[in-house]
């Protein structure tokens, strides 16, 4: 990475250091998050997390269950706040055109509106952004086609398969042309074969659009296949244990998962993750 995290606790210093030369990076510095438990005891979910996601980079985040991945994604996405430390999320970054960064979210549970047709689901964000009707229909149609759902415009989510619903969610996330896409186990609920196809869809979409992406996943292969970097977190309280640069060439497809270089990276990841998973099981 071409810059250092600021050492100061002061947000404005962190911000100016991070976004020097108008790069639209997001990040966190010395971030911790404490949740108040139901019985009154506190849960330290994240501790001293330092992470920078550079503009146009695809970062995969892996770690044992309960280590704070979703919490970190939610904080960076502006859906939650840190207990201590600095966060530099989408609303903090002002682009060269004078607006904050736009974000979109993709979750395992699709987040589709069951009472809206496929095209109206895709168009919803555009409607909220007051995009004129003709334009929002045109853009939504184009995105439905891009994710292989042409002809399903009037279909309702419950009439679609899991994989089709997730492709619809992808179209809905990308149609608003977000700067940053936050994905929390988006492919966790689909069957393994469909998942492989969706991974290739995601690679293609990302290679065409080059958005900044943070992807939380439990799959080592998915993390490596998609990511420019794979960030490994420790067992709770979550800290960054390893930040691995993935030097595999692009364009990528699932065939690279059987190559030697890929296996070596997978082994390295698992060597780092294994202890953390064991530790998280001991405490659960």
Ligand X SMILES: Nc1ncnc2c1ncn2[C@@H]1O[C@H](COP(=O)(O)OP(=O)(O)OP(=O)(O)O)[C@@H](O)[C@H]1O
Which residues in this chain contact ligand X in the complex, by CB under 6 A?
Answer: 35, 43, 45, 63, 65-71, 236
Closest CA to 81 of 65, 94, 92: 92
Q: Is omega for the bond preceding 237 within 30 degrees of 0, making it cis?
A: yes
Q: Alpha-carbon torsion 54, 60, 62, 66, what sign?
A: positive
CA dist 224 → 160, 179, 233, 267 (Å): 29, 22, 15, 11
Q: Alpha-carbon torsion 148, 104, 210, 198, what sign?
A: negative
Residue nearest to Mg ion according to CB distances in the complex:
70
Q: Report the alpha-carbon distance of residue 187 to residue 191 in Å, rounded.
A: 9
Kindly state whether residue 280 participates in binding Mg ion, applying the rule CB under 5 A. no
| Ramachandran bin of 92, using left for φ above 0, alpha for ψ from -120 to 50, beta for the remaining angles | alpha
Q: Is the CB of 43 or the CB of 242 nearer to ligand X?
A: 43
Closest CA to 73 of 105, 44, 42: 105
Q: Is the CB of 43 or the CB of 137 nearer to ligand X?
A: 43
Kindly state whether residue 166 participates in binding Mg ion, applying the rule CB under 5 A. no
User: Interacting stretch for Mg ion, rule CB under 5 A, among 65-73, 77-85, 189-197, 228-236?
Assistant: 65-73
Smallest distance, Å, CB 127 to ligand X? Answer: 30
The item of Mg ion, ligand X, none sharing an interface with residue 65, based on CB under 5 to 8 Å by kind, is ligand X
Q: Is the CB of 71 or the CB of 166 nearer to ligand X?
A: 71
8-state DSSP, 159: G
Kindly state whether residue 272 participates in binding Mg ion, applying the rule CB under 5 A. no
CA dist 232 → 150, 271, 277 (Å): 38, 11, 11
Smallest distance, Å, CB 128 to ligand X? Answer: 26
Smallest distance, Å, CB 240 to ligand X? Answer: 13
Kindly state whether residue 70 participates in binding Mg ion, applying the rule CB under 5 A. yes
User: Interacting stretch for Mg ion, rule CB under 5 A, among 66-74, 196-204, 220-228, 273-281?
Assistant: 66-74
Q: Report the alpha-carbon distance of residue 274 to residue 260 in Å, rounded.
A: 21
Smallest distance, Å, CB 64 to ligand X? Answer: 7
Smallest distance, Å, CB 34 to ligand X? Answer: 9
Q: Is the CB of 18 or the CB of 72 nearer to Mg ion?
A: 72
Where on the chain is the footprint of Mg ion (CB under 5 A)? 70
């Amino acid at each position: 990475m071409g810059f250092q995290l600021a050492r100061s606790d002061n947000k404005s210093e962190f911000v100016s250091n991070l976004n020097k030369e108008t790069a639209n990076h997001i990040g966190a510095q010395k971030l911790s998050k404490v949740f108040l438990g139901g019985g009154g005891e506190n849960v330290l979910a994240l501790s001293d997390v330092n992470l920078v996601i550079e503009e146009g980079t695809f970062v995969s985040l892996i770690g044992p269950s309960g280590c704070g991945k979703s919490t970190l994604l939610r904080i960076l996405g502006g859906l939650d706040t840190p207990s201590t430390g600095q966060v530099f999320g989408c609303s903090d970054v002002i682009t060269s055109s004078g607006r904050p960064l736009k974000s979109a979210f993709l979750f395992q549970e699709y987040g589709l509106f069951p009472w809206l047709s496929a095209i109206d689901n895709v168009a919803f964000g555009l409607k909220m952004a007051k995009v004129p009707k003709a334009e929002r229909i045109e853009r939504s149609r184009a995105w439905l086609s891009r994710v292989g759902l042409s002809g399903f415009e009037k279909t309702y989510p419950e009439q679609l398969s899991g994989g089709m619903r997730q492709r619809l969610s992808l179209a809905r996330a990308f149609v608003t042309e977000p700067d940053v896409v936050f994905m929390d186990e988006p492919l966790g609920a689909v069957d393994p074969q469909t998942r492989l196809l969706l991974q290739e869809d995601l690679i293609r979409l990302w290679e065409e659009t080059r958005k900044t992406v943070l992807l939380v996943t439990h799959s080592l292969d998915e993390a490596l296949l998609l990511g420019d970097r794979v960030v490994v977190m420790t067992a709770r309280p979550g800290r960054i244990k390893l930040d691995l640069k993935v030097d595999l060439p692009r364009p990528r497809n699932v065939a690279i998962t059987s190559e030697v270089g890929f296996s070596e990276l997978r082994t390295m990841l698992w060597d780092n993750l294994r202890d953390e998973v064991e530790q998280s099981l001991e405490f659960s």
